[in-house]
C-alpha cells in the first residue's frame, strides 16, 4: 500500500468549496484533460451550471467531471495522458470526464511549461494525490450519510458502494456533502496492479478536431477588428538596423503603419526565455495577411554591422561578439580551438599514462551543423494591449516565464497580464523562447489595437533560435591484445559544449578523461529536442561501434560487458545513470530485433543512450536499393518507467526516430557573411515520407518505476544507429552530419 501525505502540498493542490448546483470543486496543480467540453456536451448530460474557476477539478451534481488543463500541449499528448492519472486515482468512468483549457495562473498552478520531457514525471505524484484525495472525500461524505465506517465503502467507475447494506450512490449525489468533509492528512494511492486506466491506450482527445481542421492553433485565432503584423529583421547575424523608408509602403492597400521597434531596450534585464539577437526590427501592420506580405516585400531598409556588446540576463552577462560569421570559419574553429580551450571536467585513473603506453590508439572526430527547429506552425501570437492590461493568445512553451517578460517590457503588473495557450503546431524547444510574444505585445501597444503577429516561413527559419554546431573527438587506447586501456573525449561547440561527462561509458572504464570547451557567436542558439544529447549520443555510439570492431567484439555484447562493470564495480561516484536499466534496454532490443538471427540483405546498426531520466536502445535495419540506402525497420526498446498511455508513448517514440533519422541524414543550416543560406524547405532538407523507416517496432520495459521522460529520449540514439548501419551498408564510416545529400561546406 502506498500512502501519500497531502498536508505539505494540499494548500497548493487541494481546496474545497461549494459550487453552484451542488458540486465538489478541488483545486490542484498539474492537471490536463481527456475530452474537450464541446465533444463532451454532445454525449454527456451537463450539470445545470458549471462554476468556472481556473485550475480546478469539478464534479457536477450528475457525476460529470471537468479537469482544467494548465499545461501547454505541443503534440506530446499530455492533454490526454495527464488526466488519465487523475481519473485513475479518482476511480471515475473515463467516459464521464471532460476538459477545459486553463489560462496561465501562477497562483494556482506550478511549472506551466512544456519542455525537458518533464510533464508526466513531475506531475505524477501531485496528479495522483489530487485524484485520490477527491475520492477519499467522496467516501467520507458517503460514510457520514450512511452511518458506516469509511473503510467499508468501495468505489468503482464513479460509483460508491457499501456492500453490507447494498447502498450505492454516484459521485454526483455525494459531491455537495463532500465539500464539508475535512481534507485528509494522507491518502492511499492505488497499487500498480490495481490500475484500470493507466497503462491502457486512449485516443488523443483533440484528434477529431485536428483531422477535420477545426481551429486549435495560434494561427487559427481571430478576433473582430484584429490587425496583422509582420516583421523585417536584419538579413544577417552580426547586423543591425541603420535606416528605413516606410512612406511608400504605408501608401499600399490595407497598410495601417510601418515603424521600427526595439524589442528589448537597453535597460531591460532578460530572462533565459528572452533569447534573441535581433532587438531592433521594422514592423508592417495592415488589415490582412496578403496585404502585409506584399508590403513587407516592398520595404526598403538599410542594415549595418554591430560591434561587440553585452546582453544582460538575470544573474549573468552574455558577450555577443561582432562580425559576420561563416560556416567554413566555424568548422576551422571547431578543429583548432578544442585543444587550446579544453578544460578537464572528469578524470578517472591515469589516462595520460595509459595512452602513452598504448600499443594502438584509435582517434575519430565527429561534427554536426546548426539546425533550425522548423515547426510546422511558424511563430505567431495575438496581443491586445491597453493602458490597463494585456491579453495574449497563442502557442508558447513557457507562458509562466513570458508573463514576467511582458510585465517588465510593458510596465504592467503580473495580474494585468492574461496569457492564453493554444495548441501548438510543434515546439521542439523553439517555443521555449518567446521574443515573438513580446514583439506582438509591443506592436499592439503601439497600434492601440488587437494585433496578430505572424512570421513567414522565411522569417521563422532565418531568425533562429538554432541547435548549436558541435564537434567531439574520441580516442581509445588498446594494449597489444586489443584490450581497451583508456578512453578520452574532448567535445565543444559554438556557442556551447555538448558533453555530459558523467554519462556512460564514464563509470565503466578505469582510465577515463573528459574535456569540454566552447566558443562564442552572435548566431542565436537554444534548446533543440534533447539538447546536447542530440549530437553527443550519435557521435559516442558511432565511436563505440568502431571500438567494438577494433576489439573483435559484438557491439551489443561489448556494451553489456562495460555496463556490467559499471553496475558491479563502478569507477567514480558521479555516474548519473543506472547501469542495470541501461543494460535492460540493450537486452530487450537484442531479443526483439533478433540480433543474432539471420538477416540476409540487411545491414544493421545499434545504438543506446540515456537522457531525460530514460533509457533507449535501437537497432536499425538498412538495405541498399539502386545504390541508395533504404531504412527497412527500426526496433526500439525503452525504459521510461510506468507507461501511462501506450498508444501515445509509441507515437512519441516513432516521431523521435523519424525526426532523428531526418536530421542525421539530411538537415543543416549554413551561413555566409552571417546570412542563413537556407530560408525555406526548397534548400533546407527534411526527411520525406518515402525515406522514413518502412516499419518501427517499439517495446517498453515493464516495471513499476515512476514515469520518466519520453518526448526526447528516443531522438538522440537513432543518429548513432544510422551511422553504424551506413558503415555496414557502404563500407565507409560517417563522421559529419548530415550524412547524405549536399555535404560540401559553404563559405
Residue 68: predicted pLDDT: 67
Do residue 655 and residue 713 come from a single domain? yes
- Which of 211, 230, 262 is a domain's end point? 211
Q: Is 516 helix (H, G, I), strand (E, B) or coil?
A: strand
Do residue 185 and residue 145 come from a single domain? yes
**Low-confidence residues in the chain, pLDDT < 50:** 7-37, 40-42, 49-56, 742-747
Q: Flag whether 341 is in a domain.
A: no
Q: Are the C-beta atoms of residues 695 and 512 closer than 8 Å to each other? A: no
- pLDDT of 387-396, one tens digit each? 999 999 999 9
- Which of 211, 244, 264 is a domain's end point? 211
Residue 121: predicted pLDDT: 87
Do residue 682 and residue 638 come from a single domain? yes
- Which of 191, 211, 231 is a domain's end point? 211
Q: Flag whether 631 is in a domain.
A: yes
Please state whether beta strands 469-478 and 484-494 pair in parallel, antiparallel, or not at all (unpaired): antiparallel
Q: Residues near 388 by Cβ (< 8 Å), separated by ≥ 6? A: 412, 416
Q: What is the dihedral of CA 350, 353, 359, 364, to 10 degrees?
A: 70
- Count the domains in the chain: 3
Do residue 150 and residue 230 come from a single domain? no
Phi, psi of 591 (to 5 degrees): -70, -50
Do residue 497 and residue 390 come from a single domain? no
Burial 524-534 (b: 16+ CB within 10 A, else e): bbbbbbbbbbb
Do residue 406 and residue 529 come from a single domain? no
Quote the cell numbers at residue 599.
Answer: 538477416
Residue 654: predicted pLDDT: 98
3-state secondary structure 335-397: HHHHHHHCEEEEEECCHHHHHHCCCEEEEEEEEECEECCCCCCCCEEEEEECCCCEEEEECCC
- Grid cell 538579413 in the structure block, residue: 235
Q: Flag whether 431 is in a domain.
A: yes
Do residue 384 and residue 239 come from a single domain? yes
Q: Flag whether 345 is in a domain.
A: no
- What's the rounded Cα separation, in Å, for the pair 636 and 529? 18
- What's the rounded Cα separation, in Å, for the pair 425 and 433? 15
Q: Residues near 448 by Cβ (< 8 Å), separated by ≥ 6? A: 386
Do residue 511 and residue 439 come from a single domain? no
DSSP string, 213-251: T-S-BGGG---TT-EEEEEE--SSTTEEEEEEE-HHHHT
Q: Flag whether 661 is in a domain.
A: yes
User: Residue 82's domain is classified under what CATH number?
Assistant: 3.30.365.10
- pLDDT of 96-106, one tens digit each? 887 676 777 77
- What's the rounded Cα separation, in Å, for the pair 83 and 203? 12
Do residue 271 and residue 293 come from a single domain? yes
DSSP string, 559-575: HHHHHHHHHHS-SSS--
Q: Flag whether 517 is in a domain.
A: yes
Do residue 151 and residue 254 come from a single domain? no
Q: Is 655 helix (H, G, I), strand (E, B) or coil?
A: helix
Print the domain residue range for 431. Answer: 218-312+379-454
Residue 44: predicted pLDDT: 67
Q: Flag whether 570 is in a domain.
A: yes
Do residue 200 and residue 261 come from a single domain? no
Do residue 222 and residue 192 come from a single domain? no
Q: Flag whether 361 is in a domain.
A: no
Residue 18: predicted pLDDT: 40
Amino acid at each position: 500500500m502506498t500512502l501519500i501525505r497531502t498536508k505539505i502540498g494540499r494548500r497548493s493542490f487541494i481546496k474545497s468549496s461549494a459550487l453552484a448546483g451542488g458540486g465538489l470543486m478541488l483545486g490542484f496543480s498539474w492537471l490536463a484533460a481527456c475530452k474537450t467540453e464541446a465533444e463532451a456536451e454532445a454525449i454527456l448530460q451537463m450539470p445545470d451550471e458549471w462554476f468556472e474557476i481556473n485550475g480546478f477539478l469539478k464534479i457536477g451534481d450528475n457525476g460529470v467531471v471537468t479537469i482544467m488543463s494548465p499545461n501547454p500541449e505541443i503534440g506530446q499528448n499530455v492533454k490526454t495522458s495527464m488526466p488519465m492519472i487523475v481519473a485513475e486515482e479518482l476511480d471515475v468512468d473515463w467516459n464521464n470526464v471532460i476538459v477545459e483549457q486553463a489560462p496561465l495562473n501562477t497562483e494556482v498552478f506550478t511549472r506551466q511549461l512544456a519542455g525537458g520531457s518533464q510533464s508526466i514525471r513531475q506531475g505524477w505524484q501531485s496528479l495522483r494525490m489530487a485524484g485520490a484525495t477527491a475520492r477519499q472525500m467522496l467516501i467520507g461524505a458517503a460514510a457520514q450519510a450512511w452511518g458506516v465506517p469509511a473503510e467499508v465503502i468501495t468505489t468503482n467507475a464513479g460509483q460508491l458502494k457499501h456492500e453490507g447494506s447494498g447502498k450505492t450512490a454516484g459521485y454526483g449525489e455525494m459531491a455537495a456533502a463532500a465539500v464539508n468533509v475535512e481534507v485528509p492528512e494522507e491518502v492511499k494511492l492505488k497499487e500498480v496492479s490495481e490500475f484500470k486506466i493507466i497503462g491502457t491506450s486512449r485516443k488523443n482527445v483533440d484528434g477529431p478536431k485536428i483531422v477535420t481542421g477545426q481551429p486549435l492553433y495560434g494561427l487559427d485565432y481571430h478576433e473582430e477588428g484584429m490587425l496583422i503584423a509582420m516583421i523585417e529583421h536584419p538579413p544577417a547575424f552580426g547586423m543591425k538596423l541603420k535606416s528605413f523608408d516606410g512612406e511608400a509602403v504605408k501608401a499600399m492597400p490595407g497598410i495601417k503603419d510601418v515603424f521600427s521597434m526595439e524589442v528589448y531596450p537597453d535597460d531591460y534585464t532578460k530572462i533565459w526565455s528572452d533569447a534573441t539577437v535581433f532587438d531592433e526590427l521594422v514592423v508592417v501592420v495592415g488589415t490582412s495577411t496578403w496585404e502585409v506580405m506584399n508590403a513587407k516585400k516592398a520595404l526598403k531598409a538599410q542594415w549595418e554591422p554591430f560591434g561587440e556588446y553585452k546582453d544582460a540576463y538575470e544573474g549573468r552577462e552574455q558577450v555577443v561578439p561582432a562580425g559576420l560569421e561563416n560556416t567554413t570559419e566555424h568548422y576551422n574553429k571547431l578543429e583548432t580551438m578544442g585543444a587550446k580551450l579544453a578544460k578537464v571536467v572528469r578524470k578517472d585513473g591515469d589516462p595520460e599514462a595509459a595512452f602513452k603506453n598504448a600499443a594502438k590508439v584509435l582517434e575519430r572526430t565527429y561534427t554536426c551543423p546548426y539546425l533550425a527547429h522548423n515547426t510546422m506552425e511558424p511563430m505567431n501570437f495575438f496581443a491586445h494591449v491597453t493602458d490597463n492590461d494585456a491579453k495574449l493568445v497563442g502557442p508558447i512553451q513557457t507562458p509562466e516565464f513570458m508573463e514576467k517578460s511582458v510585465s517588465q517590457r510593458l510596465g504592467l503588473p503580473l495580474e494585468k497580464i492574461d496569457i492564453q495557450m493554444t495548441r501548438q503546431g510543434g515546439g521542439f524547444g523553439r517555443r521555449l523562447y518567446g521574443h515573438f510574444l513580446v514583439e506582438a505585445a509591443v506592436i499592439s501597444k503601439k497600434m492601440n489595437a488587437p494585433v496578430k503577429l505572424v512570421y513567414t516561413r522565411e522569417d521563422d527559419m532565418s531568425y533562429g533560435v538554432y541547435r548549436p554546431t558541435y564537434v567531439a573527438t574520441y580516442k581509445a587506447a588498446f594494449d597489444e591484445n586489443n584490450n581497451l586501456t583508456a578512453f578520452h573525449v574532448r567535445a565543444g561547440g559554438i556557442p556551447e559544449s555538448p558533453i555530459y561527462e558523467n554519462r556512460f561509458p564514464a563509470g565503466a572504464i578505469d582510465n577515463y578523461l573528459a574535456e569540454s570547451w566552447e566558443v562564442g557567436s552572435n548566431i542565436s542558439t537554444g534548446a533543440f529536442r534533447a539538447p546536447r544529447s542530440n549530437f553527443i549520443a550519435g557521435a559516442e555510439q558511432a565511436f563505440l561501434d568502431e571500438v567494438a570492431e577494433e576489439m573483435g567484439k559484438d557491439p551489443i555484447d561489448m556494451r553489456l560487458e562495460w555496463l556490467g562493470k559499471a553496475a558491479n564495480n563502478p569507477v567514480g561516484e558521479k555516474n548519473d545513470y543506472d547501469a542495470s536499466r541501461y543494460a535492460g534496454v540493450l537486452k530487450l532490443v537484442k531479443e526483439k530485433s533478433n540480433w543474432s538471427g539471420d538477416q540476409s540483405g540487411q545491414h544493421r546498426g545499434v545504438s543506446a543512450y540515456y537522457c531525460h531520466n530514460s533509457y533507449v536502445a535501437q537497432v536499425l535495419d538498412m538495405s541498399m536499393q539502386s545504390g541508395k540506402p533504404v531504412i527497412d525497420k527500426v526496433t526500439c526498446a525503452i525504459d521510461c518507467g510506468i507507461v501511462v498511455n501506450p498508444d501515445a508513448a509509441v507515437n512519441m517514440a516513432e516521431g523521435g526516430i523519424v525526426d532523428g533519422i531526418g536530421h542525421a541524414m539530411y538537415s543543416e543550416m549554413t551561413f555566409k557573411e552571417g546570412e542563413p543560406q537556407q530560408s525555406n524547405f526548397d534548400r533546407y532538407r527534411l526527411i520525406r515520407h518515402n525515406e522514413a523507416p518502412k516499419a518501427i517496432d517499439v517495446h517498453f520495459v515493464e516495471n513499476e518505476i515512476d514515469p520518466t521522460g519520453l518526448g526526447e529520449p528516443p531522438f538522440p540514439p537513432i543518429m548513432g544507429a544510422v551511422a553504424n548501419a551506413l558503415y555496414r551498408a557502404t563500407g565507409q564510416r560517417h563522421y559529419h552530419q548530415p550524412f547524405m545529400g549536399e555535404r560540401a561546406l559553404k563559405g
